[in-house]
Amino acid sequence: EVQMVQSGAEVKKPGESLKISCKGSGYSFTSYYIGWVRQMPGKGLEWLGVIYPGDSDTRYSPSFQGQVTISADNSISTAYLQWSSLKASDTAVYYCVRHRLWHDYWGQGTLVTVSS
């Protein structure tokens, strides 16, 4: 059974750094892209970007290029989304997804709250 299991909720202050994780299981981790999707409170879905763990090919939405970093550790089948300096506007639920031009499996979501 394919599963995408994300790390737990985070509460941070503006300016702090953060790295959230997503562990893929039940499939060949290096053979599929993993992506990240943002959902701000009460709003729609936004695509941040994807990584192909097989060769680390990474693509970002133009809206998020330079704002976040996507990475992966194949040894533990885990992908990451990180920020170097959080803003209040980063407050959202972040979903990891298995990406195949569409998103067939979704993680449970990680709530990131940024507040002073």
Partner 1 sequence: QSALTQPASVSGSPGQSITISCTGTSSDVGDYNHVSWYQQHPGKAPKLMMSEVSNRPSGVSNRFSGSKSGNTASLTISGLQAEDEADYYCSSYTSTLVFGGGTKLTVL
Shortest approach of partner 1 to residue 75 CB, angstroms? 26
For partner 1, the closer of residues 43 and 87 by Cβ is 43
Closest CB to partner 1 among 16 and 57? 57
Q: Given the complex with partner 1, which of 53 and 107 has the nearer CB atom?
A: 107
- H or E element at residue 76: none
* Tokens 């990406």 belong to residue: 99
CB neighbour burial string for 76-107, b if at least 16 within 10 angstroms, e if fewer: ebbbbbebeebeeebbbbbbbbbbeeebebeb
> Which chain residues interact with partner 1 by CB under 8 A?
35, 37, 44-47, 49-50, 59-62, 95, 99-104, 106-109
